[in-house]
Structure 1
Amino acid sequence: MIVITGASGQLGRLVIAQLLQTVPASQIVAAVRSPEKVADLAAKGVQVRHADYSQPATLDSAFAGAEKILLISSSEVGQRVAQHQAVIDAARRAAVKLLAYTSVLHAPTSALGLAEEHRQTEAALAQSGVPAVLLRNGWYHENYTAGIAGDLAHGAHFGSAGEGRISSAARADYAAAAVAVLTAQDDQAGSVYELAGDSPYTLREFADQVSRQAGKPVVYTDLSQADYRAALLQAGLPEFVAELLSDSDAAAAKGALFDDARQLSRLIGRPTTPLSASIEQALAG
């Protein structure tokens, strides 16, 4: 039995959709905070169980009978370490054979502010004795394509990544990597995968690609980290989001989102989704 935590989220849903292609629905558990949000999965025969990272008591029943668990990192930045620890502890009690964790690219050395909670989670896993595999995911194409409508409206893509190269891939590519590990015949415990897209680009090149495909001018406007943060606040984003995005861009300028080892495409057995394809999909609405 394979348990997917955070199964109602975008990545979790993609993982389950791909698992259903090879694994019987009855052997898949969608562990979610709000079961009513995945009624469609229940209708397909997927087991739906209540699981809240912040309510450890829910995790034991959610993981009952589990052989493998995919711990999709919590979206609640600042609370992740305690939440992930609760999952790790429950996985240990359930005596699972494998826990796969979605960490971040080059976690031990990453300049991303987001990386610290991932580093602490990786350390907790190492200390737990739970057989684990680390899926160190790079950036998603969708982190940028989600804002294309705004870019077109302003005729500009704002950021503070300079000429830093970004090795992003589509969210579905990372889902495919998780599925490959969860369904692998060989033992994955102890493996570490640095997962990133095949074709790195700068944000200037991203803006150029959007401009070409949309037939409208979009220029990359590079700001200092402080000015980018201020612009995001002025646009109405919450302070923690503005801090996260500006920090991530500043880290990207230093190479934090770059990787050219192509472990992701090797793991999934195909090239990663081109950025151009994700832009096309976003423009199609």
Structure 2
Amino acid sequence: MTPFAIAGVQMHVAALHSNVDAMRHRLEILMAQFPWTQMVLFSELAPFGPLDKYAQPFPNEALETFQEDARRHGIWLIPGSMFERTEDGRILNTSVVINPEGEIVARYSKMFPFRPYEQGISAGTEFCVFDVPEVGRFGLSICYDIWFPETTRQLTSQGVEVLLHPVLTGTADRDAELSIARATAAQFQCYVFDVNGLAAGGVGRSLVVDPSALVLHQSAGQEDMFPIEVDLDLVRRQRETGLKGLGQVLKSFRDREVDFSVYDRESGTDAFLKTLGPLETPKQGSSRGLSAADPRTALGYVEQPELPPKNFSVFHGKTGSD
């Protein structure tokens, strides 16, 4: 067994002022109550909230403070994410990984901003994989990224065993997101730590799932700190022998006999996607999608002849009803 204790922190997040001191306060309580914790994960945009007008340059004072906390407590710390303002004026949604020595050892910018709602937020293009010595391999993904399984496919193909997934979901699709988190754990045979915030930071209901899609912890709608000890030998065993000795999905994908032409933007396979219209916020009374042409026609399908009614028979050249 390779035990490792990871704690998620689900907390109230304010939109109009810094939450850094509040995060540090909860970190102090967490480490006093659960001193065996080795890694701590906060929710998406926890430090400064969901408004990009509070975007920060990197490095910044808040990150330096979190680095001091990680060093003082001797923990791996992922302080959610924050909007980063780059030197060229772009805004990214960026998370960092701080090791127990207080060093930033990795960073990740969200690949799929929640468009069209997150207008003006640029997308990251680099994956984040990092190793905890003598423990295992970890990967970062932020909120909407998990809706695109290619992101987790890339990470787990590089050996990631624990997916750290800070989210800010305060919308009606939280149930769907929780289903995706469970499916991700099973599809890619990894742990998933899905940590949401409260108030301006989300509706809570954080989730921890093991590689067999078993829910290890489910928060409700109040503040919560949940240290969970994971066993990465379980990941390795399941990837070798399959879920409950059954599906060996990573090896089956490795040994596949098909290449997916949809990933070739010039293949034409994604012609249907081009019929869906622009990526934009729905408007009042919008009829988009209701009067569009049949996509089968757009893609060149041949109309099949209509079959006779079920109660109509054709026998020896005569027609008539049954």
Using the size of structure 2 for normalisation, the TM-score is 0.30
Structure showing greater Rg:
2
**Which is richer in helix?**
1
